[in-house]
């Protein structure tokens, strides 16, 4: 079997640019890289790897790789496989494996349609969806994985499958991550949401305990059209940062409201009234195409790691520990992000999938930059929440997890089914997924 597409080995110019992604921690060190431009390139690469006994990893924009190839194996990069075809009458889009959410949104927005994209439009739509996919309209429409109609995937034996014709494979791929094959494209649902009412309210660290408590209480009053989050994080002391955020620890409330049939400004006013004047307020109506401005996350590649806990509630006493444990006195810079779940996320989709812990009400992630193993620090920040932990999200776990930790992302019986299906579709274990199911 000959490789097609672009091909690099460690001594070929361009190898480094091709293997590196957004996440710079422990990058892949493959023996071969195939830059796929067609699904045939992917199929040939998988067959070549199977014939030569090579492990296979896949990299799109590289925001989430956890288990890198370390000196051997074959890396398939999908960034050139990024075509998006919109079908307005059925409100669907056929998206190739390497399309970022921004590329998907750019194709859907002219039709007044929006996908279930997340906080950062530079993330790739397919891997995000394979990991569940918690987006800006999550409480209204559920996980991205709940809104997938078709998936084209090459399994480890090099065979191309229409996964929707195989109930087990279709179930596993939607939530089970990159453990079952290399997806070349999928068809996703779109929603008639041309604009959002959204943005961020920024408060000083000194008011963080009040902000977190008021946000928690407010989340318990809002309808499913309101998806929100809060982050506690330091802003760099840089010219391009607004003067009253520069160099400060900030609590940033991130709001994404589907305005349809709802007095969105009034919903936000209820929160503002409870919190007082913010340092900066960017909330207003914005075209969906600019929805990346809501979280306004930095787009610079970096090394980082994170740990996540899915929670049944936000214990006020645990909330009060965040500024002390993760604020300026933490030994390493920490960003704590809490997302409000519930709503449609709690409902089983029409065609069931592997996404776990639909009963969780909040997701808590602690993230830090750097190459160090910060597991102990992050665990200490998550410790006050122990009594309310129901599981973990794999999409928000950056860096390697133990088998038990990966298992905690799923219902116990679902994990057993995923393990069994991994044995069916990848019996030799050649796929190196970001969070391997073993
Ligand atoms: C700044 C930032 C914001 C984020 N926001 C959100 C958010 O709002 N909601 C959310 O749910 N997640 C979010 N995430 C997490 C993100 O969805 C996951 O990390 C996702 O896996 C990243 O995909 P990627 O292509 O960028 O990463 P990659 O590292 O390229 O891919 C991640 C893994 O996906 C698998 N994979 C990739 N392509 C394929 C394929 N074609 N077939 C099979 N497996 C494949 C591989 O196992 C790979 O290791 C965010 C991450 C970051 C860094």
Q: What is the pLDDT of residues 90-107, one digit of tens each?
A: 999 999 999 999 999 999
- Ligand 1 lined by 60 (C-beta under 6 Å): yes
Residue 264 has pLDDT above 80, yes or no: yes
Check residue 67 and give its pLDDT: 83
Q: Are 354 and 414 in contact (CB under 8 A)?
A: yes
3 state SS of 74: strand
User: 119: CA distance to ligand 1 center in Å?
Assistant: 12
Please tell me the predicted confidence (pLDDT) of residue 71: 87
Q: Look-up: residue for tokens 């955020």?
A: 245
Burial class from Cβ neighbours inside 10 Å (0-12, 13-18, 19+) for residue 277 reads: exposed
Assess whether the C-beta atom of 62 lies below 6 angstroms from ligand 1: yes
Q: For the segment 342-364, what is each residue's pLDDT rounded down to a tens digit?
A: 999 999 999 999 999 999 999 99
pLDDT confidence of residue 205: 83
Determine if ligand 1 sits within 6 Å of the CB of residue 353. Answer: no
pTM for the whole structure: 0.98
- Give tens-digit pLDDT for 206-261: 888 889 999 999 999 999 999 999 999 999 899 989 999 999 999 999 999 999 88
pLDDT of residue 402: 94
Give the C-alpha separation, 243 to 347, whole Å: 43
Atom number of ligand 1 nearest to Cα 297? 1
Q: Are 138 and 346 in contact (CB under 8 A)?
A: no
Q: Which helix (H) or strand (E) holds 102?
A: helix 101-108
> 248 C-alpha vs ligand 1 centroid, how far in Å?
29
CB of 433 closer than 6 angstroms to any ligand 1 atom: yes
Percent with pLDDT over 70 in the chain:
100
Is any ligand 1 atom within 6 A of the Cβ of residue 105? no
pLDDT recorded at residue 209: 83
Segment 271-297 mean pLDDT? 95
Q: Residues 122-162: pLDDT tens digits?
A: 999 999 999 999 999 999 999 999 999 999 999 999 999 99
H/E stretch holding 425: helix 412-425
What integer is the mean pLDDT of 268-279? 93
Whether the CB of 119 sits within 6 Å of ligand 1 = yes
Is pLDDT above 90 for 65?
A: no
Domains of the chain in start order, with CATH, are: 6-77 (3.30.43.10), 84-192+411-425 (3.30.465.10), 195-400 (3.40.462.20)
Task: Specify the ligand 1 atom closest to the Cα of 183.
Answer: 42
pLDDT of residue 105: 98
Distance CA 293, CA 285 (A): 11
Query: Which atom of ligand 1 is nearest to 120's Cα?
Result: 3
Is any atom of ligand 1 closer than 6 Å to the C-beta of 179? Answer: no
Question: Which residue's C-alpha comes closest to atom 51 of ligand 1?
Answer: 63
What residue spans of 187-346 are helical by DSSP H?
208-219, 264-275, 316-319, 322-326
Each residue's pLDDT tens digit, 403-431: 999 999 999 999 999 999 999 999 999 99
Residue 79 · residue 123 · CB < 8 Å: no
* 154-185 pLDDT per residue, tens: 999 999 999 999 999 999 999 999 999 999 99
Q: Is the CB of 434 under 6 A from ligand 1?
A: yes
Contact between 126 and 186 (Cβ < 8 Å): yes
CA distances from 311 to 153, 364, 389 (A): 33, 7, 5
Angle of the 167-176 helix axis to the 412-425 helix axis, nearest 10: 110
Q: Where are the alpha helices (DSSP H) in 256-391?
A: 264-275, 316-319, 322-326, 375-382
Question: Taking residues 309-329, what's their average pLDDT?
Answer: 94
Q: How far is the CA of 62 from the centre of ligand 1 (A)?
A: 7
Residue 397 to residue 292: CA distance in whole angstroms: 21
Confidence of residue 276 (pLDDT cuts 50, 70, 90): confident
């Amino acid at each position: 079997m000959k490789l097609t597409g672009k091909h690099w080995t460690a001594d070929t110019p361009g190898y480094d640019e091709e293997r590196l992604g957004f996440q710079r921690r422990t990058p892949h060190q493959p023996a071969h890289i195939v830059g796929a431009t067609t699904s045939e390139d992917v199929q040939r690469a998988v067959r070549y790897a199977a014939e030569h006994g090579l492990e296979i990893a896949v990299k799109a924009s590289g925001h989430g790789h956890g288990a890198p190839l370390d000196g051997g194996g074959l890396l398939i990069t999908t960034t050139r496989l990024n075509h998006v075809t919109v079908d307005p009458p059925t409100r669907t889009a056929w998206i190739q494996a390497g399309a970022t959410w921004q590329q998907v949104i750019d194709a859907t927005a002219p039709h007044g349609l929006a996908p279930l994209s997340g906080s950062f439009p530079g993330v790739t739509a397919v891997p995000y969806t394979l990991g569940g996919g918690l987006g800006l309209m999550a409480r209204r429409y559920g996980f991205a994985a709940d809104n997938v109609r078709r998936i084209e995937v090459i399994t480890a034996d090099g065979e191309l499958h229409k996964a929707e014709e195989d109930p087990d494979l279709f179930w596993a791929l939607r939530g089970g991550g990159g453990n079952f094959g290399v997806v070349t494209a999928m068809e996703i649902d779109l929603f008639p949401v041309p604009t959002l009412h959204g943005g961020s309210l920024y408060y000083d660290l000194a008011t963080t305990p009040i902000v977190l408590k008021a946000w928690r209480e407010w989340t318990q009053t809002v309808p499913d059209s309101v998806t929100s989050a809060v982050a506690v994080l330091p802003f760099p002391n840089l010219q391009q940062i607004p003067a009253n955020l520069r160099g400060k620890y900030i609590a940033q409330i991130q709001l994404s409201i589907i305005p349809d049939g709802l007095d969105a400004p009034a919903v936000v006013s209820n929160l503002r009234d409870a919190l007082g004047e913010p340092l900066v307020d960017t909330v207003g109506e914005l075209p969906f195409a600019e929805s990346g401005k809501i979280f306004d996350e930095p787009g610079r590649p970096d090394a980082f790691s994170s740990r996540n806990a899915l929670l049944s509630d936000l214990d006020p006493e645990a909330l009060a520990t965040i500024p002390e444990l993760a604020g300026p006195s933490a030994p390493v810079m920490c960003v704590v992000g809490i997302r409000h779940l519930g709503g449609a996320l709690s409902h089983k989709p029409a065609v069931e999938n592997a996404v776990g812990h639909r009963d969780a009400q909040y997701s808590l992630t602690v993230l830090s930059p750097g190459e160090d193993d910060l597991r102990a620090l992050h665990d200490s920040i998550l410790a006050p929440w122990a009594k309310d932990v129901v599981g973990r999200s794999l999409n928000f776990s950056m860096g390697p997890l133990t088998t038990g930790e990966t298992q905690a992302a799923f219902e116990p019986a679902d994990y057993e089914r995923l393990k069994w299906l991994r044995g069916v579709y990848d019996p030799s274990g050649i796929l190196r997924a970001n969070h391997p199911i073993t």
